[in-house]
């Protein structure tokens, strides 16, 4: 029996996706070869990438005036890609709500002026700072947020900041396709695939064409990062991460088969509620994130001691519940319950939590 994998990323994939990829590993359909062997310029591969984009557009209700790109370099490369493409006025607002939000702001500061409007580092990122509209500089080029903070277990969810007429940019790496967001509220979103959309190696970038087609702010920047060029070349300015895009397409198909993003959101909220209910009724465990800002993707908590934290992780592994150790920056325990984590896995974890408290509390 496969264990329940609570890894934060690369994370669990839906079993039907793995089985489909296995069945097509040597030959994709009647194409006579594996996807890994296909020329990205071939008609057979063009059908794969076109289908992936079409399904993602359907799932996220992406309108025609928004472009969809499949890029390389992870979300971390987009920490540079965003300011290099959008910071034409030389400054941007950043809300720092976690480790990756801080890194995004630091990277953007290499290319212009970063105005940090809201920073929750004073309490180790256990809450989401919520700046008011008037706190954002209206002359800046955009506002950047990290929609879900994987390490700390906090999330903006749909309670997005009021940014006025400024484009809102969001790193959605650990929450894309997990709940319904109105893409029209964003100027641009990006997400590494390895948590909810596939395997490492591919990054989704979705944004308004008028923003993305402005070009780079400097000719010194790598042209492969230029959204305008990537749009013109259909994400194929150079060889794209072909197999990662194929896997993402299979994941998109699976999401559609589950009833779409709204249906998965209901399941995700149910899964998270199971764990938070245990935490809220326990005098043994302590939830890390503020209740008002809890993520439904990453549930973070601690026991009364480091030794018990370690014992919990070890005992859970023996019970078939793996990769529950918290991030090195926070310690404790973290359960990442992305779309591919079945309800049965979360039920098993909740039961283990109760039993562990009974024995050690």
The CATH number linked to 315 is 3.90.1150.10
The proportion of the chain whose per-residue pLDDT surpasses 90, expressed as a percent, equals: 98
Query: Residues 302-314: pLDDT tens digits?
Result: 999 999 999 999 9
Same domain, 224 and 112: yes
**pLDDT at position 1:** 83
What total number of domains does the chain contain? 2
Same domain, 252 and 271: no
> What is the distance between the alpha carbons of residues 292 and 294, in angstroms, rounded to a whole number?
6
**pLDDT at position 148:** 98
Query: Residues 164-208: pLDDT tens digits?
Result: 999 999 999 999 999 999 999 999 999 999 999 999 999 999 999
Q: Which residue has the tokens 């072909």?
A: 242
Average pLDDT over residues 248-259: 98
**pLDDT at position 195:** 98
Instruction: Provide the residue range defining the domain that includes 113.
Output: 15-257
Q: What is the DSSP letter of 294?
A: B
Same domain, 242 and 327: no
In a domain, 33, yes or no: yes
Same domain, 282 and 311: yes
Q: How confident is the model at residue 235 (pLDDT cuts 50, 70, 90)?
A: very high
Q: Please, which residues have CB within 8 angstroms of residue 360's CB and are 6 or more apart in sequence?
A: 284, 303, 308, 311
Residue 122 has pLDDT above 90, yes or no: yes
Residue 358 has pLDDT above 90, yes or no: yes
Average pLDDT over residues 224-228: 97
Average pLDDT over residues 211-224: 96
Pairing verdict, β 188-192 and 168-171? parallel
In a domain, 68, yes or no: yes
**pLDDT at position 272:** 98
pTM value surpassing 0.85 = yes
Query: Residues 76-108: pLDDT tens digits?
Result: 999 999 999 999 999 999 999 999 999 999 999
Of the residues 237, 257, 277, which one is the last residue of a structural domain? 257
Residue 328 has pLDDT above 90, yes or no: no
Same domain, 150 and 21: yes
In a domain, 1, yes or no: no
Q: Nearest-CA neighbor of 198 among 338, 46, 342?
A: 338
| CATH code at position 80 | 3.40.640.10
In a domain, 269, yes or no: yes
In a domain, 10, yes or no: no
Pairing verdict, β 143-146 and 298-302? unpaired
Average per-residue pLDDT for the chain:
97
Of the residues 197, 225, 257, which one is the last residue of a structural domain? 257
Q: Nearest-CA neighbor of 75 among 230, 187, 202?
A: 202
């Amino acid at each position: 029996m496969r264990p329940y994998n609570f890894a934060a990323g690369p994370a669990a994939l839906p079993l039907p996706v793995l089985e489909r990829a296995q069945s097509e590993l040597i030959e994709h359909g009647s194409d006579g070869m594996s996807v890994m062997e296909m020329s990205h310029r071939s008609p057979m591969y063009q059908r794969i990438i076109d289908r992936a984009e079409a399904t993602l557009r359907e799932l996220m209700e992406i309108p025609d005036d928004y472009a969809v790109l499949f890029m390389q370099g992870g979300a971390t490369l987009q920490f540079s890609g965003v300011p290099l493409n959008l910071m034409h006025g030389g400054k941007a607002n950043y809300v720092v709500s976690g480790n990756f939000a801080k890194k995004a702001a630091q990277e953007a500061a290499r290319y212009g002026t970063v105005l940090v409007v809201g920073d929750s580092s004073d309490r180790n990122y256990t809450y989401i700072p919520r700046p008011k509209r008037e706190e954002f500089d209206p002359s800046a080029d955009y506002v950047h947020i990290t929609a879900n903070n994987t390490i700390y277990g906090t999330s903006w969810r749909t309670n997005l900041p009021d940014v006025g007429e400024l484009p809102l940019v969001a790193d959605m790496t650990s929450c894309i396709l997990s709940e319904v967001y109105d893409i029209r509220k964003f100027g641009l979103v990006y997400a590494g695939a390895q948590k909810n959309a596939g395997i490492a190696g591919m990054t989704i970038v979705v944004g308004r064409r008028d923003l993305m087609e402005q070009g780079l702010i400097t000719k010194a920047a790598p042209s492969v990062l230029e959204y305008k060029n990537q749009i013109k070349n259909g994400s194929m300015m150079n060889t794209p991460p072909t197999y990662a895009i194929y896997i993402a397409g299979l994941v998109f198909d699976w999401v559609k088969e589950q009833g779409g993003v709204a249906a998965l959101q209901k399941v995700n909220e149910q899964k998270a509620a199971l764990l938070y209910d245990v935490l809220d009724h326990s005098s043994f465990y302590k939830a890390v994130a503020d209740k008002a800002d809890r993520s439904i993707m990453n549930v973070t908590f601690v026991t009364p001691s480091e030794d018990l934290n370690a014992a919990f992780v070890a005992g859970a592994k023996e019970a078939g519940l793996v990769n529950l150790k918290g991030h090195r920056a926070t310690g404790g325990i973290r359960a990442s319950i992305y779309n591919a984590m079945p309800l049965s896995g979360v039920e098993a974890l909740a039961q283990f939590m109760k039993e562990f408290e009974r024995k050690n509390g």
